[in-house]
DNA sequence: CCTTAATCGAGACGGTACGTCATGTCTTGGG
DNA sequence: CCCAAGACATGACGTACCGTCTCGATTAAGG
């Protein structure tokens, strides 16, 4: 008998995957140009040269569409290994502050939507937060392994400190997270995590 | 002559200040109920029992209206002084995690708008960030003064760490910044800022 | 006490009656140009320089809008009185076949909708059928009074014969109800209604 | 040699004539249920369990499809011969008013479309008008032959009177052309066509 | 007291975008 | 080449808000 549990027999004309591309690309562009709040489905359809139906057939809401478009963005995942915490965090700082204006504008445009859409929040985490966190987590773990960083810390909290400060600076303070800022934060982190307190530091 | 440079002589019926109250209150409620994205001027007008004109006569945009409504919220400004960094930060943690669901929902509803409106960002800073930062900054400065915290740190960065981690948790991770979370973060901060590294820690 | 049963206190800005005019006029034009079936609300709005809301605020459906537009058309109501049935019906024939291309196209465009919309049917009756019927009924009654037409007929049926033949010709046969046709029908009617049968007409 | 001048050599799989049946039947049903205006090709396809392509492969428009579906309907063609005009017209009246609700609803649904489509008008004529007209024309001609009806009338006009009054009643007046109505009309016709005017009728 | 002028609630206005539906065509895989 | 299924661009649907603009009625302040 040939009754395998084949999932579903696809019937009818399949979705044209070229259109996925066109639509997400248009979404991407518009997100960078006008931001999430002013992005309209009609504009996406027009820009992509596509009917609105073709969009709604794939994503049921603006948030889902944007989530998919943003999901295409990828941050670099290579984890530096210079041998010192300062070196590693410095490379990460360099990577994060490396200008990629379009991606950054998309990100900023995205923040507006994150608060309300769990999908979007997940996408944002998977695409941006998690990769960044894991890079920091890795270099921190190595530093602990090397004895460079004390072993009694909760690395989860320590890891989040760097992305959190960047996010706070961008969103709340509305200032750029540039190289100088990142280097300074890295300095402070290295300071508190690794610097041996000089004897006699405490007043007496 | 009485020709002072008074801006404009107001003529005709003045704005009814009771309406300011009604409108902002309605805005407040709706912000908590449906969030910034779904808050409409028409709903505010209806809820406040007011014509749309009365709103636009006072605030020229949704963002400005929301900014004004949020500006009414105040966080507690009292700075604890228990004598130890751990004690002070613990009290701050307690205050921040003290449940005020309406205020919190308004805040989350606000985040969506921050990315696009400088006014709103300013309001958010003045109403939430700055008071919180200044409380942390004060207790940190006192701890440095007591010699409890090393003096070679940039307190600005250190100060922002706590609010940044809270903001990141709420917005990016979508998890509550509850008492347990805040206490844990405070623990870690106290650990790295004050704990004297035991001599010979690094040696194998 | 001045507590008259005043109907309703009108509140808010009243409907702009100029727009009624513009909208009905646009509807009228389009009805003549493309017919009922191809008439769209969007085209009416565009032609009238009006938002769709302004139309729906007044008429809740295409059928109602068209009914209102058609209700503006009026047929001439003057009833001829030449002294003879032939003379009177001849004048009516002349009036009906007098070319008014726009009105005629509107009428033809309307037929499509009549079958499905009671409002539209009523409007069609009030605007076209009833006035025409009453003209014919009047001249017939006068002819009966003069003894020109036999008195034992149901004038309601006789009256409808002329409009029915015209309608049938236009809709079912798709041919013009021109002067020649109308005169011919009038001839036949006069013949059967008034012509005294010659003695010995019957065979045998 | 088998080289007849056959127009085109049909190649590939021929149209499945069972589908013609299914499609026309579905069209028929829907026409009776929702009328021409609300009949959609998609609904026909769904009801017939057929792809839209199968419909468009056969009929190029909704009007043509409906025309084909209606063309299947047939009215009874038997012409009565009772020996008198009143008897013959009475039988015709009985036949026309014999209730066939589905056919009637299809007919009414059809009227909407007639005004715009010449094909549809032709179909309507061939299927309904002509058979009915020819029945009436036959009995009238026989009555003239018998000397029952005067010979100086244009039978074409007289013939159309009955169907025209029925059509007018259904479409314009929106009232049923039931047995009572038809009998009454027949009475009047018989009256004017055959009744000898009493001598001295005109005198006061 | 009586203008004058801007307020008030209500809601119409021209727009824009929404999300849905039907059009007629095209594209799958399977006879 | 047909067939069912269903995607495709197009375009209209009827609704909801936008921010502006009337309406008649109200409310101060200045003459």
Please state the separation of Cα D142 from the chain's center in Å.
23
Set of chain B residues whose Cβ sits within 8 Å of the Cβ of A203 = 147
C63-105, pLDDT tens digit by residue? 899 989 988 887 777 899 999 999 999 999 998 887 766 776 7
Chosen for mutation from A130, A161, A169, A180 (greatest number of chain B CBs closer than 10 Å) is: A161
Residues A42 and A65 in one domain: yes
Residues C149 and C181 in one domain: yes
Whether the per-residue pLDDT at A101 is higher than 70: the answer is no
Residues C112 and C171 in one domain: yes
CB D58 within 8 A of CB D23: yes
CA distances from residue B185 to B101, B164, B181 in whole angstroms, order as listed: 22, 11, 6
Residues B90 and B189 in one domain: yes
Q: Of residues 36 to 95 in chain B, which lie within 7 A of strand E by their beta carbon?
A: 48-54, 57
Q: How many C-beta atoms lie closer than 10 Å to residue C110's C-beta? A: 25
Is residue B77 situated within a structural domain? Answer: no
- Residues of the domain holding C175: 85-194
Whether the per-residue pLDDT at A199 is higher than 90: the answer is no
Residues D153 and D185 in one domain: yes
Angle in degrees, CA D168, D173, D178, rounded to 5: 75
Set of chain C residues whose Cβ sits within 8 Å of the Cβ of D109 = 115
Residues C106 and C140 in one domain: yes
Is residue D121 situated within a structural domain? Answer: yes
Tokens standing for residue B125: 């800073």
Set of chain C residues whose Cβ sits within 8 Å of the Cβ of D202 = 147, 196
Is residue D76 situated within a structural domain? Answer: no
Distance CA B127, CA B171 (A): 18
- Of B133, B137, B111, whose CA–CA distance to B123 is shortest? B111
A12-CA/F20-C1' distance, Å:
49
Whether the per-residue pLDDT at C192 is higher than 60: the answer is yes
CB B129 within 8 A of CB A176: no
Residues C64 and C94 in one domain: no
Of A110-114, B15-19, D14-18, D127-131, highest mean pLDDT? B15-19
Which has more pLDDT, A201 or C100?
C100
Distance CA D108, CA C90 (A): 33
**The pLDDT value given to residue D8:** 59
CA distances from residue C175 to C161, C165, C169, C171, C184 in whole angstroms, order as listed: 18, 12, 6, 8, 15
Choose the final residue of a domain: B71, B97, B116: B71
- CB under 8 A, 24+ apart: contacts of B46-49: B48/B19, B48/B22, B48/B23, B49/B22
| Closest-CA distance of chain C to residue D15, Å | 32
Is residue A11 situated within a structural domain? Answer: no
Q: How confident is the model at residue A9 (pLDDT cuts 50, 70, 90)?
A: confident
Q: How confident is the model at residue D1 (pLDDT cuts 50, 70, 90)?
A: very low
**The pLDDT value given to residue B8:** 62
Please state the separation of Cα A70 from the chain's center in Å.
9
As for how many domains chain A has, the answer is 2
Residues B134 and B43 in one domain: no
Residues D186 and D100 in one domain: yes
Q: Which residues contact C30 (CB under 8 A, 6 or more apart)?
A: C39, C43, C44, C47
Q: How confident is the model at residue C46 (pLDDT cuts 50, 70, 90)?
A: very high
Is residue D10 situated within a structural domain? Answer: no
B61-102, pLDDT tens digit by residue? 998 899 899 888 777 778 999 999 999 999 999 988 877 767
D9 touches strand F (CB under 7 A): no
- Cα maximum dimension of chain A: 87
B99-152, pLDDT tens digit by residue? 776 776 777 777 767 776 777 888 888 888 898 899 999 999 999 999 999 999
Residues A38 and A127 in one domain: no
* CATH number for position C97: 1.10.357.10
Q: Of residues 11 to 70 in chain D, which lie within 7 A of strand E by their beta carbon?
A: 13, 40-43, 52-53, 56, 60-62
Q: Which residue is nearest to nucleotide F19 (CA to C1')?
A: B56
Is residue A5 situated within a structural domain? Answer: no
Which pTM value belongs to this model?
Answer: 0.81
Residues C97 and C135 in one domain: yes
What's the length of chain C? 204
* CATH number for position B39: 1.10.10.60
Distance CA C165, CA D145 (A): 25
Is residue A46 situated within a structural domain? Answer: yes
Q: Of residues 3 to 22 in chain C, which lie within 7 A of strand E by their beta carbon?
A: 11-16, 19
Distance CA B33, CA B27 (A): 10
Chosen for mutation from A155, A192, A198 (greatest number of chain B CBs closer than 10 Å) is: A192
Residues B65 and B106 in one domain: no
């Amino acid at each position: 008998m040939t009754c395998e549990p084949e999932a579903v027999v696809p019937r009818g004309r399949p979705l044209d995957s070229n259109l996925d591309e066109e639509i997400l690309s248009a979404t991407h562009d518009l997100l960078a140009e006008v931001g999430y709040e002013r992005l309209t489905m009609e504009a996406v359809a027009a820009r992509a040269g596509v009917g609105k139906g073709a969009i709604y057939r794939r994503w049921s809401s603006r948030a889902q569409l944007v989530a998919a478009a943003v999901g295409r963005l990828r941050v670099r995942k290579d984890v530096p290994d210079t041998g010192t915490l300062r070196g590693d965090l410095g490379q990460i700082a360099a990577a994060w502050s490396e200008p990629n204006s379009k991606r950054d504008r998309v990100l900023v445009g995205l923040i507006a939507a994150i608060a309300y859409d769990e999908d979007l929040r997940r996408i944002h985490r998977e695409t941006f937060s998690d990769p960044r966190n894991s890079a920091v987590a890795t270099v921190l773990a190595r530093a602990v392994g090397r004895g460079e960083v004390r072993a009694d810390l909760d690395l989860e909290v320590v890891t989040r400190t760097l992305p959190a400060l960047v996010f706070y600076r961008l969103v709340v303070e509305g200032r750029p997270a540039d190289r100088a800022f990142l280097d300074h934060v890295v300095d402070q982190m290295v300071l508190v995590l690794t610097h041996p307190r000089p004897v006699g530091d405490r007043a007496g």
